[in-house]
């Protein structure tokens, strides 16, 4: 019996490698995000995404600075760093991109952390990736104000994606329903920007709010974009921003 044990272990190990190899081969590149915050008046919002590219193994980091009223990049954003060396570390890319964006982040006074109202990590199974309700006035006892965000996906033709996906890529729209105030369209795709690649699906990732003392609330909704990648779906982030009316 003792003589057979090594061979049994070897067989079990070989089987486990066979079972897990396809999963590893299909593993995509899931970027992480870091919320840098708002300007004190809520006019500007910044966040960082970072990770390691699938296939190449190159670390990358990007910083985005957004005008919350126009819902568009500003100040020279985005800043991107890709270290074309698989031996490099993600922290090096993050340090380099922060150095590139630092002057703009200081100029636009990105210093207010904001309040994280909701977060839906990629591994969570219980949350609805397309809808979330929050109460921005949670800190006021006895006060409830319901903000419901809904994301809807829709096919959106993109010639560059047709051969890869065998059909149209996905766009999305995002709406906000405030209790007692009706529904507002925050974003609706009419075409796919090149920067998104070929999206397969979307999910609401985070809802962040900043409440200035003498200005309307500012919100940023981070959206996970899952697009066609080298070894599976890759995740990146985009932000939809707005001010409270």
Burial class (CB in 10 A: 0-12, 13-18, 19+), 87: exposed
At residue 198 the predicted structure's pLDDT band, cuts being 50, 70 and 90, is very high
pLDDT at 20: 43
**Coil, strand, or helix at residue 70?**
coil
Cite the beta strand spans of 6-58 per DSSP E.
Answer: 32-38, 44-52
At residue 5 the predicted structure's pLDDT band, cuts being 50, 70 and 90, is very low
Q: List, for residues 38-58, the tens digit of each pLDDT value.
A: 999 999 999 999 999 988 899
**Whole-angstrom distance, CA of residue 151 vs CA of residue 173:** 6
At residue 180 the predicted structure's pLDDT band, cuts being 50, 70 and 90, is confident
In whole angstroms, how far apart are CA 151 and each of 88, 139, 185?
Answer: 37, 26, 10
In whole angstroms, how far apart are CA 104 and each of 64, 65, 107, 125, 185?
Answer: 10, 8, 5, 37, 30
At residue 245 the predicted structure's pLDDT band, cuts being 50, 70 and 90, is confident
Residues 6+ apart with CB under 8 A from 214: none
**Mean pLDDT confidence for 3-30:** 46
**Mean pLDDT confidence for 190-212:** 96
Contact 173, 189 (CB under 8 A): yes
In whole angstroms, how far apart are CA 204 and each of 59, 112, 173?
Answer: 25, 22, 11
**Coil, strand, or helix at residue 126?**
coil
Contact 138, 148 (CB under 8 A): no
Q: Give pTM, 2 decimals.
A: 0.86
Residues 6+ apart with CB under 8 A from 153: 130, 170, 171, 172, 201, 202
**Whole-angstrom distance, CA of residue 46 vs CA of residue 142:** 32
pLDDT at 27: 58
Task: Indicate the domain borders of the chain.
Answer: 27-243
CA angle 124, 129, 133 (to 5 degrees): 105
pLDDT at 34: 98
Burial class (CB in 10 A: 0-12, 13-18, 19+), 165: middle
**Whole-angstrom distance, CA of residue 137 vs CA of residue 211:** 10
pLDDT at 126: 87
At residue 139 the predicted structure's pLDDT band, cuts being 50, 70 and 90, is confident
Nearest partner of 64 among 225, 218, 205, 236, judged by Cα: 236
pLDDT at 6: 44
> What is the arrangement of strands in the sheet containing 115-119, beginning at the earlier edge strand?
115-119, 199-210, 218-228, 233-243
pLDDT at 15: 35
């Amino acid at each position: 019996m003792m003589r057979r044990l090594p061979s049994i272990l070897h067989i079990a190990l070989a089987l486990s490698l066979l079972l897990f190899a396809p999963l590893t081969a299909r593993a995509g590149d899931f970027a992480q995000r870091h919320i840098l915050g708002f300007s004190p008046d809520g006019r500007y919002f910044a966040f960082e995404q970072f990770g390691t590219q699938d296939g190449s193994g190159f670390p990358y980091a990007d910083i985005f600075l957004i005008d919350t009223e126009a819902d568009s990049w500003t100040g020279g954003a985005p800043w991107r760093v890709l270290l074309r060396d698989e031996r490099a570390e993600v922290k090096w890319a993050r340090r380099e991109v922060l150095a590139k964006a630092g002057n703009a982040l200081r100029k636009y006074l990105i210093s207010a952390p904001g309040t994280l109202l909701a977060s839906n990590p990629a591994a969570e199974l219980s949350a609805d990736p397309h809808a979330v309700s929050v109460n921005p006035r949670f800190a006021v006892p006895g006060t409830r104000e319901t903000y419901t965000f809904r994301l809807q996906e829709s096919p959106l033709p993109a010639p560059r994606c047709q051969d890869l996906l065998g059909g149209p890529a996905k766009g999305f729209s995002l709406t906000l329903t405030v209790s007692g105030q009706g529904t507002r369209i925050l974003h609706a795709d009419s075409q796919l920007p090149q920067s998104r690649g070929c999206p397969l699906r979307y999910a609401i990732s985070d809802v962040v709010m900043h409440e200035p003392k003498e200005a309307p609330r500012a919100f940023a909704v981070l959206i996970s974009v899952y697009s066609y990648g080298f070894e599976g779906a890759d995740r990146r982030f985009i932000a939809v921003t707005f001010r409270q009316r």
